[in-house]
Amino acid sequence: MYFLGLNSYMHDSSACLIKNNEIVAYAEEERFNREKHTGLFPKNAVDFCLNRAKIEIHDIRHVGFSWRPVRHVIYRLIDLYNYFPDVFFKINPKRPSIFMDMLKVKNYFRKKYRYKNKFHFLDHQLCHCASSYYTSPFQRTAILLIEANSERETTLFGMGDNGLITKLKAIRYPNSIGLLYLCVTEYLGFKENSGEGKVMGLAPYGQPTFYNEFKQIIKNSNGQIYLNMDYFDVHLKKETYVTQKFIQLFGPRRRPEDTIEKRHMDVAASLQKITEDICLNLANDLYAISNSENLCLAGGVALNSVMNGKLQKYSKFDNIFIPPMTNDVGTSLGAALYLKAIYNKKTADSFINNFTPYLGPEYSNEEIEHVLRSKKLNYYPSKDICKKIAEELTHGKIIGWFQGRMEVGPRALGNRSILADPRNTQMKDILNYKVKHREGFRPFAPSVLVEKANDYFDTKRLEVPFMLKVFSVRPERKAEIPAVVHADDTARLQTVCKRKNPLYWNLINEFYKLTNCPVILNTSFNVRGEPIVCNPVNAVDCFLKTKIDILAIGDFLVFK
C-alpha cells in the first residue's frame, strides 16, 4: 500500500512517498523550481515520487496533507479576537490567500492528477511528531515539538509508545520561543523562516548583554511560555515585525546588507542564550512527566544545532534523536507515516528501519555525461574518484561533490556538497567571500569519520549523522582544523559511517591516509539565496559561476 504525504502553501513545500516500511522517494519542491523555501504546491516533487516508484496516481491508496485548513482558520480567528481584538479585521492580507489555497488543495489535487482515492487533512503538529518518532530508533520516547507558529499549538509535549503518539500538554499561539526567534531574525536584517541559522552563527561573536531585556519579553515557568506581544506586530507587518517598544529596548533595526555592529552580535547572543535556557527547561519539564530516557525533537526550532548540543549535554534525557528534516519539510514525511500508522493494524510496525536522508533524485553517468557534453565542457572519467579528489583537497582545491541520491533537509550531508581542506586557515574566508558569496561570520561544518569523531570533538562517542548538534572541539585539535572551528571553539559536525554513505566515507578516509586528518570541510552545494543543487545542470551552473576548482560529478571530473 502506497501513502503520499504533502506539505505546501506556507513554506518549505515537499512530497514523500512510502510503501510498506520503506521511504521510496522524498524531496523538497525548492530543489526543482529553484525558489528557496517555496510554498508553492509541490508538483515537481510529486512527479518525482511517482516516477521514482514507477507507479500511477491510482496506485496510491491514501494522500495526506499536513494541515487542517478549516481548523487553522477558526483557531486563528479565535486567537486574534482573544489576544488582538484591535487587529481582528486587519490581518496580514497574504494570510487569506494562503488559507484559501489550503482549502482548495483537495479539489486541486483530485483534478490535476485525476485522483479518486482517499485524501486526508491532518494535524500539523502530529505530522511533525510522526516525522521524528517513526524515523527514530525508539519504540518508547518523549516527543518535544517546538516551532514558531502552527495551527494553534506552538510547543507540544508528547509521547510515542509502541507506535502510538499521544499529546500530553501544549503551549498555544502566540506564546512561542520560535516566534520570538523569527521576529528577532527579521529585526537583525535577515529573512524570517530562512535566516534564523545566520543569527545562530552570529551569536558567538557577541555577549548576552541583552539577556535581562529578553527576560522582560518572554517568560518560562512550569512548562509554560508567555510571550509579551506588546513588543511585536506579526499580523500587520509593513516594514518590520517588532514594535517601537522593542526598538526602545534594543536600538534601531538593522536593514539587510547594513553593517553588522557589536550591538547586533550581542542581541543575537542574548536571543540564543534565552532560547537555549527555555528549551532546556521545557525538555526537563517533559522528562519529569514522561518517564522516558529517550527524546525525539521536532519542529523548526530543532534546527538550532547549538541548542540541540546543549540539550544533549545538559538535559536529563540520555538519548536524543533529531531527524534531518525537522522543519516543515518533514511534515510531508510525517503525513505519510501518520497515515500509515492509522491504517496499519500493527502500529508497532510503523517505523522506518535504518532511516537515511538520501532519498531524492539521482542521475546515471549517461545522464551526467549528456549534460557535460551539452555544456561543451572538458571532462575526464576517473576510476578512483575518491583517491583523486583527496589528493586535490590536499593541494588546496575547492571541490563540487555531486554523487548519488540528493539529501532531504537543509543540510548537505555528503551527496550535494562543496568540500575543502579544513587545515587551511584561509579557507573559511575564501569559501564565504569567493564561493558562497555570503556573510563572513558564517561557519562551516566538519565531516569526520565516525571512528575518529571523539578524537577531535567532545561527542561522548555519539553518532551525529545529520549535522544537527554542536559540540566542542578538543583544545589540542583546534589548530589542526581551523577552517571548521567556530568563534566559540565549537563545530556543527557530521559523523560519516561507511555503511550509511560508503562513497563519502571512502573519500574522507583517503584524505586521512594522505594527511593523518580524518576531517574534511563540508558545506552545501549552492550559493547564497539559492537552494542546494538538485540535478547535473544545477551543479554545472553553480560550478561555472563560482570559484569552485573541480567538479566531481558521478564518475567524471571537470576542471576549471
Give the integer Cα–Cα distance in Å for 349 and 273: 40
Q: What percent of the chain has pLDDT over 90?
A: 87
CATH 3.90.870.20 for domain 365-559: yes
Give the integer Cα–Cα distance in Å for 377 and 393: 22
Give the integer Cα–Cα distance in Å for 137 and 140: 9
Give the integer Cα–Cα distance in Å for 529 and 548: 17
* 38 CB-near residues (< 8 Å, 6+ apart): 11, 12, 13, 29, 30
The tens digit of pLDDT for each residue in 354-393 reads 899 999 999 999 999 999 999 999 999 999 999 999 999 9
Burial class of residue 221, CB neighbours in 10 A (0-12, 13-18, 19+): exposed
Cα diameter, the chain: 68
Q: What are the backbone angles phi and psi of residue 239, rounded to the nearest 5°? A: -105, -35
The residues of the chain that CATH labels 3.90.870.20 are: 365-559
pLDDT at 84 over 90: no
> For position 102, what pLDDT does the model report?
84
> Pick the residue with more confidence: 10 or 45?
45
* pLDDT band (50, 70, 90) for residue 93: low
> For position 254, what pLDDT does the model report?
96
The tens digit of pLDDT for each residue in 40-60 reads 999 999 999 999 999 999 999
> For position 89, what pLDDT does the model report?
59
Paired with 531 in beta bridges are none
Torsion of CA 185, 186, 189, 192, to 10 degrees: 80
The tens digit of pLDDT for each residue in 390-415 reads 999 999 999 999 999 999 999 999 99
pLDDT at 95 over 60: no
pLDDT (mean) for 208-229:
96
> For position 70, what pLDDT does the model report?
84
Helix (H, G, I), strand (E, B) or coil at 544: helix
* pLDDT band (50, 70, 90) for residue 547: very high
Q: Which pTM value belongs to this model?
A: 0.95
Helix (H, G, I), strand (E, B) or coil at 546: coil
pLDDT (mean) for 258-283:
98
pLDDT (mean) for 249-277:
97
CB 128 within 8 A of CB 297: no
Distances 545 to 286, 399, 435, 555 between C-alpha atoms, Å: 48, 14, 9, 22
> For position 20, what pLDDT does the model report?
86
Pick the CATH number of 171-321 from 2.40.128.20, 1.25.60.10, 3.40.190.10, 3.30.420.40: 3.30.420.40
> For position 149, what pLDDT does the model report?
85
pLDDT at 236 over 70: no
pLDDT at 419 over 90: yes
The residues of the chain that CATH labels 3.30.420.40 are: 2-135+326-349, 171-321
Lowest mean pLDDT among 151-155, 273-277, 536-540: 151-155
Give the integer Cα–Cα distance in Å for 372 and 544: 12
> For position 54, what pLDDT does the model report?
98
pLDDT at 79 over 80: no
> For position 346, what pLDDT does the model report?
66
The whole-angstrom distance between residue 208's C-alpha and the CA centroid of its chain comes to 25
Q: Tell me the Cα Rg of the chain.
A: 23
H or E element that contains 381: strand 379-381
The tens digit of pLDDT for each residue in 420-469 reads 999 999 999 999 999 999 999 999 999 999 999 999 999 988 999 999 99
Task: Supply the DSSP string of 53-99, one letter for each residue.
Answer: HT--GGGEEEEEES--HHHHHHHHHHHHHHH-GGGTT---THHHHHH
Pick the CATH number of 2-135+326-349 from 1.10.260.40, 3.90.650.10, 3.40.50.720, 3.30.420.40: 3.30.420.40
> For position 239, what pLDDT does the model report?
76
